[in-house]
Structure 1
């Protein structure tokens, strides 16, 4: 089962993404939802999801900065 992390500082947008993904990718397991860049980076390192859906503009670190720091097999969307 593929796993994912969603990072967005606007909770309603994170929920909307989850709702849109559910029927398209029913076996995708969302491991965590992060609300800022540092939280996203920490959770990606700890959980090692297959995919990371990152908002570009977030407090602390942007989605681009988080993506640059990812090590391992996590793919960034």
Structure 2
């Protein structure tokens, strides 16, 4: 069940990304940091996830979203 749900979420995310592309500036307005993320914004999250600090964490999602209220936000 988990794998099916996860795959459905990936599909929804890709569909929303394609659908929201023309509304980029409007989406940026809903991001608390007021900008889109860059590859460098992922550095700390990746460093944390590959460290020993996560030895007892499993099955969690770490959103690096700039403070957008929901990753499934539909405008």
Provide TM-score, normalisation by structure 2: 0.30
The structure where strand makes up a greater share of residues is: 1
Rg comparison, structure with higher value: 2
The structure where helix makes up a greater share of residues is: 2
Provide TM-score, normalisation by structure 1: 0.29
